[in-house]
Amino acid sequence: MDIIKGAMLLVVANEATLRKRTRFLDQDLNRSFPGKKNGNREEKIAYELKSLLQTVDFVISLHSTSTNTKDLVIIKKDTSGVNKLIKAINPLRVVHFPKGFGDGALENHHKAALAFEYGYHYAPATYNKSLRDIKKVLVSLGMIKGVSKSKAKNKTSFFSIYGSVDKPRGFKMKNIRNFSLIKRGDTLGWVKKEKLVATENFYPALFGPKAYPDIMGFKSKRLSNK
């Protein structure tokens, strides 16, 4: 890509974990912000990154997942900068993590930051989708040449997290489709022969058997489209 205006900074935040193909060494980096100057490895990285964040206008945090989640943008703040990025990307879904959920994430520490959750770990499709949408943002900002499509392809759906579902020891999760409505009484999975069911209606977000050690995933409500 030839940058014709401005500058783009690409940071591989945790190179050691990339080499070892593991999520983290001491703790999840995306739960470590704002970090600590004399903390553990990830806390030190977060502390340094937070200072770097203040030097840029927009931030995109790239992620992959073990869940069946694709084309999802995560936001912490509803600002003009964030909405400008969403408009350029035109994702299928946007989920808002309010205060109390994901507060240690990078996107909670910049006024115009969001995160991509675009597919499975190490999958070429995840990489390719991320690259395409980064280019959309750069075109919209006039940083690279290209044509911004005036007609939106996706009708973006907006969700907001309001809770999580605990995962008991020995739990076997049903194959749950993220962002498809779960109704009260629907089966979530089993502990041995005991069936666990939903206690209310909700839209599952980032549900997956290997997503989190202590929760199945997050509960969200669907919002009116902007």
Per-residue pLDDT 10s for the chain (226 aa) are: 899 999 999 999 888 888 888 878 889 998 999 999 999 999 999 999 999 999 999 999 999 999 999 899 999 999 999 999 999 999 999 999 999 999 999 999 999 999 999 999 889 999 999 999 999 999 999 999 987 655 558 899 999 999 999 999 999 999 999 999 999 999 999 999 899 999 999 999 999 999 999 999 999 999 986 6
Q: 3-state DSSP call for residue 203?
A: strand
Please enumerate in sequence order all residues whose Cβ is within 8 A of that of 110, keeping only pairs 6 or more positions apart, or say none: 53, 54, 56, 59
DSSP string, 149-212: -SS-SS--EEEEEEEEEE--TTEEE--PPTTSPBPTT-EEEEETTEEEE-SS-BEEES--TTT-
Q: Nearest 10 degrees: CA dihedral of 102, 106, 108, 114? A: -100
pLDDT digits (tens, 9 = 90+) for 89-118: 999 999 999 999 999 999 999 999 999 999
pLDDT digits (tens, 9 = 90+) for 65-80: 999 998 999 999 999 9
Q: What is the DSSP letter of 199?
A: S
Distance CA 56, CA 8 (A): 9
Q: Tell me, what's the pLDDT at 20?
A: 84
Q: Tell me, what's the pLDDT at 84?
A: 97
Residue with structure tokens 């549900």?
207
Q: 3-state DSSP call for residue 107?
A: helix
Q: Tell me, what's the pLDDT at 153?
A: 80
Q: What is the pTM of this model?
A: 0.92
Q: What are phi and psi of 95, to 5 degrees?
A: -120, 130
Q: Please name the amino acid found at residue 158.
A: F
Q: Tell me, what's the pLDDT at 152?
A: 59
The token duo for 140 is: 């919209």
* C-alpha distance across the termini of the chain, in Å: 32
Q: Tell me, what's the pLDDT at 201?
A: 99
The token duo for 28 is: 């999840």
The token duo for 7 is: 């500058």
Nearest to 157 by CA among 101, 65, 220: 220
Q: Tell me, what's the pLDDT at 148?
A: 64
